[in-house]
Amino acid sequence: MLRLGREGRITVEQKRISDYGIRIGRIPKGERNKISDVPGVTVGHSTIRDDTHNTGVTVILPMEGNIFADKLVAASYVHNGFGKTAGTIQIDELGTLETPIALTNTLNVGMVSDAVVQYMIDRCAEDGIALASVNPVVGECNDAGLNAITDRAVTAVHVREAIAGASADFAEGNVGAGAGTQCYGLKGGIGSASRLVELDGKTYTLGVLVQSNYGSTADLMLDGKPSGKQISRWISEQECDKGSIMVILACDVPLTARQLRRVIKRCSVGIARLGSYIGHGSGEVFIGFSTANVIPRDAGEILQLSCIREDKINLLFRAAGEATEEAILNSMVCAEKVQAPNGKTVQSLKDFLEEDIL
């Protein structure tokens, strides 16, 4: 539901997993319980939905300024590489992020990459910044089950629309890059969550956004219960763990790229706690960035960066696992049921929760 909030802003109101009495973890949540609780982070969607298409693009803007000029520390981790992600090679080599992060469907990665490049060319031209090379970062999930994917319906216009509409209060569920995804045989989508951690008396924020499109129905664990086995009695179940999940992690904790990679690896804990065994046909790709350490374009030859003490990183590990688990569940309960082009209906997890079937 969309409502007009203070100062005339549109706010998003959706029932999320906590509204069904399910509490994930023990670390406090941020104000919105979204990745946008990290200051400066915004998210935008462009959704394509008609008789044959359920697809789109979701863009995460990591900061308010020009990220090409003032790069952020970043890392990536491929837990299972059945995917078509662009841009992670340079992230791993240099440890920095210099563009927004876009998510879309498998066959539109190239076009979305091109659109992100053009966006950065135009943005840098406006800001008077020379650009001769740029590393666009794009992730994907295969939404062919609910979308005529070979039509490659996503265009540069949709990427621009998602960027222009980015805000801290964004919709979840079957929107943007999550419009056509499925999770544990139910409707998947875009979901988010956040956690607050205290270090040296200061509160920091870690947030996660997922594009969920994986999992065997019978494997689903909900609130510690094997709910997937019960759901399997009511739907045409997804038998194989396939399809992929993209996880984007943001934080304002001072971290090196190496430390950030250690943290994003723990996103796999949240996936596993919901029952996935990380199947052959499912690509699990994680990308993370920290807004704490900025690499300015006019820096001198020596940079001074701050980072966490290694033996204090456990709290971030737990936060990453908790936020990922909750973000996946939010992606499912915020999604409405969808009818595929072949007539098949994919149910929403919320239908089972609201009918007290689980």
User: What DSSP letter does each residue of 123-162 carry, written as one string?
Assistant: HHHHTT---S----EEEEE--TTTS-GGG----HHHHHHH
Question: Mind listing the pLDDT tens digit for each residue in 62-97?
Answer: 999 999 999 999 999 999 989 999 999 999 999 999
Asked whether residue 9 carries a pLDDT value surpassing 60, the answer given is: no
Give the position of tokens 């704490």: 292
Strands, DSSP E only, in 29-68?
42-49, 54-61
Quick count: other Cβ atoms within 10 Å of Cβ 55?
30
36 belongs to the catalytic site = no
Sheet holding 101-105, edge to edge: 42-49, 54-61, 101-105, 137-141
Q: Which of 244, 276, 290, 331 is flagged as catalytic? A: 244
Asked whether residue 158 carries a pLDDT value surpassing 70, the answer given is: yes
pLDDT of the residue at 256: 97
User: Nearest Cα to 12, choosing from 49, 50, 42?
Assistant: 42
76 belongs to the catalytic site = no
Q: Which of 76, 227, 276, 282 is flagged as catalytic? A: 282
Mean confidence (pLDDT) of the chain: 94
pLDDT of the residue at 11: 59
In which band, very low, low, confident or very high, does the pLDDT at 238 lie, cut at 50, 70 and 90? low
| Least confident window among 6-10, 153-157, 166-170, 186-190 | 6-10
244 belongs to the catalytic site = yes
pLDDT of the residue at 298: 84
Q: Which of 98, 161, 172, 284 is flagged as catalytic? A: 284
Determine the average pLDDT of the residues in 176-183: 97
Which residues make beta-bridge pairs with 4?
Answer: 10
pLDDT of the residue at 342: 82
